[in-house]
Amino acid sequence: MKAYELLFFVAPSINEDSRAAVMKRIETTIAEGKGTVDNIDVWGKRKLAYEINGLTDGDYTLIDFHANPENVAELDRVLRITDAVVRHMIVKRTDRD
């Protein structure tokens, strides 16, 4: 398994239940691919560099995890179709393998 890091943000106006549902879906997708979540770091509300979909702020979360490369594509697909996630980025971490 390879080490990855996922950074995503949601609109700060969504409720806690929706935010928890997004986290649960991410954790489930990683676990279904036999991956493991190493660390979840909630950054909280941050100002965006530019306006995206009418938003000027975002609620950021950073997740460190290990997964097989083919399962990262599935996680990317799930994040793209999740309406609550405004933007996301998955990066391979070669320093943590």
pLDDT of residue 41: 95
In tens digits, what is the pLDDT along the chain, a chain of 97 residues? 899 999 999 999 999 999 999 999 999 999 999 999 999 999 999 999 999 999 999 999 999 999 999 899 999 999 999 999 999 999 999 887 6
Q: 67 with 75: CB under 8 angstroms? A: yes
Angle, CA 14 vertex, CA 72 and CA 54 arms, to 5°: 90
> Which among 41, 29, 40, 11 has a CA at the least distance from the CA of 67?
29
- pTM for the whole structure: 0.89
pLDDT for the residue 94: 86
